Structure 1
Amino acid sequence: MSDPKNFSCDIETGVCAPSGEGILEEIHLNKPQKVQLIYYTDPICSACWAIEPELKKFKLEYGDYVDIEYKMGGLLPGWEGFADKANGIGQPSDVAPHWDEVGEHTGMSIDGDVWLEDPLSSSFPPSIAFKAMQKQGEEKALDFLRRIREMVFLEKKNITKEPVLLKAVEDCDGDKAQFQTDYHSEQVKQSFHSEMLAGRQMGVRGFPTFIFVGTEGTGFKISGMSGYANYELALERTVGYKVNPQPIPFNELELLKKYRYLATKEIAFVLDQNEAETLSALNKLEQQGLVQKVKQKYAFFWRIVD
């Protein structure tokens, strides 16, 4: 079985599969006013789902130092003419075992059976949907991105279908009428294609890709699941000095109040605890009727009891 730490999603093949260790690659861009983190991702990138614990912790510890900008990279244009013989991928059903492998070994459960039961034709529709939701505010868009990822990775929902996307908008308390207008807008579609092109020009060839850009325009690019220490190293090299993380002022219950629905792995990683310790605390909260445990294919997820 492949080492789950070394997964990335390839922009050329559309497949999330084992890769080499992430390295820091120097890159030169325009000078931002503040350290900028450009995050190239895709709604159906399994490696991007797997790093949700690290990304949450990074935002909490270093959010005062960086502005994070989410970009859609276009992982899977479609299946016509597609073949990746090296990874044994020639049709949607071949993706299922790759997703299950990531879900089983990272603590962020994934049910690859969606590729057997209701396979996705492309990642472009949910990517455009994210761009449409940005019209309703960045926070709403990020809630939406998380929700459609829960739908596809945990609930086996085909997030290329407009009714499924509309349900996600509703779940995030978004404006469905505005969403439909923006989702079908040529301007929104063009903004997505412009992001893809810009990513390729910056050398983005897989997901996740993080591009840290300092105030002098020089920064570092990291591709794949390179590990939390590399995110910290990239930030330190970008700003030119040791950056001290902010303390995280949450316990398990407070984290769930903030984020709504989390895996055990996410809570444990953010709080710098082992999973056994975290499970013990969460089980006590469940016994008190404060949280609900939800069994997913390869892990438990948790939510606040209303």
Structure 2
Amino acid sequence: METKPTMLCDIETGMCEIPGAQATTEDTNIAAAQKPIKLLYFTDPICSSCWGIDPQLKKLALEYGPYFEVEYRMGGLLPSWEAYGGRDVNGPASVAQHWEEAGAHYEMPIDGDLWLEDPLPSSYPPSIAFKAAQLQGEEKAGAFLRRIKEMIFLEKKNIARWDNLALAAEQTGLDVAQLKADFEGKAVELFQQDLTLGRQLGVRGFPTIFVTDEKDNRILVYGSRPYAQYEQALLQLHPEAAKQQYDTSYTSLFGKYSTLTTKEFAVLSGMKTTEAEAHLQQLQAQGKIGNYASKNGPLWKSF
């Protein structure tokens, strides 16, 4: 009897694996171009482990931003439920408890009830929407990706639905009509190109980050890893990179990021999570920040 692959992300390895992916690689050039270092980041909007490393990547940007660029690629974690099955996953409901456990492990709010109430049939629609957003600029695309992740992990919104994608686009300053046209046109092929590149590079799951320099030397950081591992990979390829000092005050951090989880604020401010939570609650009580209260933790928002 054939065993179908599972969708559950492994908390120990910090990896969400693609169904049927092979660990073979081809000789593909992915060298950095604009800055000394490039992070070629294979991800998926519904990848809980990818949500789990957002704090580390934000800190890396604040400390080493002048030295690296991030190139986002979509990988296709959930083609359809027909691709999954077997002992661990029998359908969307099987993912709900796993998401709850992943959120607790990463200390990032994740509400698994989405998979009981309004499950996604595939992660391809939001992935294609992101490729469409990239056609309107990387900065807006990054904001769009963040917004749809907030929608799915905290707000239990099915981001395979066009109405939710359109709302996220509107909220992040994208041209919704253009996004729709590209979503149904150019972005489909761009998404397929991402899948092809992932196969060529042997990407088996997410997060997968290839840290590369201008000569195409590369270091693979596979799965959710501590901050030091991302920093070490960057410094190994570019020892000249000097750590930047940055303002850790709430006004500065919320000036850079319109929303932060408690974990993200803790990592960026250098506080313990409990200390950060108390500080954020005090700021909210003083009317200086707001929040969205999800089942498993708030999303703090600048005014």
- Please give the TM-score of this superposition, normalised by the length of structure 1: 0.88
- The structural deviation recorded for 1:5 is 6.0
What residue in structure 2 maps to residue 95 of structure 1? 95
Contact 2:151 2:157 in 1 (8 A): yes
Amino acid at match of 2:195: M
Deviation (angstroms), 1:303? 1.1
Moved more, 164-173 or 274-283: 274-283
Within-5 A mapping of 1:148-297 = 148-185=148-185, 187-239=186-238, 241=239, 243-297=241-295
Superimposed CA distance per residue, residues 195-230 of structure 1 (whole angstroms, 9 cap, x where no aligned partner): 111011111111001101112211111110121111
Distance 2:198 2:297 in 1: 33
Match of 2:122 in 1: 122
SS at match of 1:213: strand
CA contact (8 A) 2:262 2:299 kept: yes
Aligned residues: 289
Aligned to 2:18: 11
How far off is 1:82 after superposition?
A: 2.1
Deviates more, 1:163-172 or 1:256-265: 256-265
Taking a change above 3 Å as real, the CA distance of residues 31 and 210 of structure 1, as seen in their structure-2 partners, is closer
Secondary structure of the residue that 1:39 maps to in structure 2?
strand
Following the alignment from structure 1 to structure 2, what is the Cα–Cα distance between the partners of residues 81 and 276?
41
| Letter in structure 1 aligned against 2:206 | F
Q: Cα offset for 1:4?
A: 4.7
Report the identity percentage.
43
CA 1:82/1:286 → structure 2, altered by over 3 Å: closer, same or farther? closer
Match of 1:204, SS state, is: coil
CA distance in 2, matches of 1:35, 1:3: 29
Contact 1:28 1:217 (8 Å CA) reproduced: no
Distance (Å, rounded) in 2 between the aligned partners of 1:37 and 1:251 = 27
| Residue 141 (structure 2) aligns with | 141
Which residue in the other structure is 1:20 paired with?
Answer: none
For the residue of structure 2 that corresponds to 1:64, the secondary structure is helix
Q: Secondary structure at the match of 2:81?
A: coil
Q: 1:249 to 1:28 in 2, by over 3 A?
A: farther
Give the gaps of 5 or more residues in structure 2: 1-8, 22-26
In the alignment, the residues of structure 1 paired with residue 46 and residue 54 of structure 2 have an alpha-carbon distance, to the nearest angstrom, of: 13
Aligned residue in 2 for 1:23? none
The 3 A distance-change label for structure 1 pair 123 and 301 is: same
Cα offset, 1:8, TM superposition: 1.1
State how far apart, in whole Å, the 1-side matches of 2:10 and 2:272 are.
20
Aligned-residue CA RMSD (Å): 2.1
Partner residue of 1:38 out of 14, 37, 40: 40
CA 73–30 in structure 1, closer or farther in 2 if over 3 Å, else same: closer
Structure 1: runs of 5 or more not aligned? 15-26
Which of 62, 65, 68 aligns to 1:66? It is 68
Q: Match of 1:299?
A: 297
| 2:32–2:38 CA contact under 8 A, matched in 1 | yes
SS at match of 1:67: strand
Distance 2:235 2:54 in 1: 21
Q: Is the 8 A contact 1:77 1:122 kept in 2?
A: yes
Partner of 1:19 in structure 2? none
SS of the counterpart of 1:70?
A: strand
Distance 1:256 1:159, change over 3 A: same
| Aligned twin of 1:24 | none
Q: Distance in 1 between matches of 2:281 and 2:31?
A: 48
CA contact (8 A) 1:13 1:83 kept: no
Corresponding residue of 1:17? none
Normalization by structure 2: what TM-score?
A: 0.89
Q: Is the 1:76–1:123 Cα contact (8 Å) retained in structure 2?
A: yes
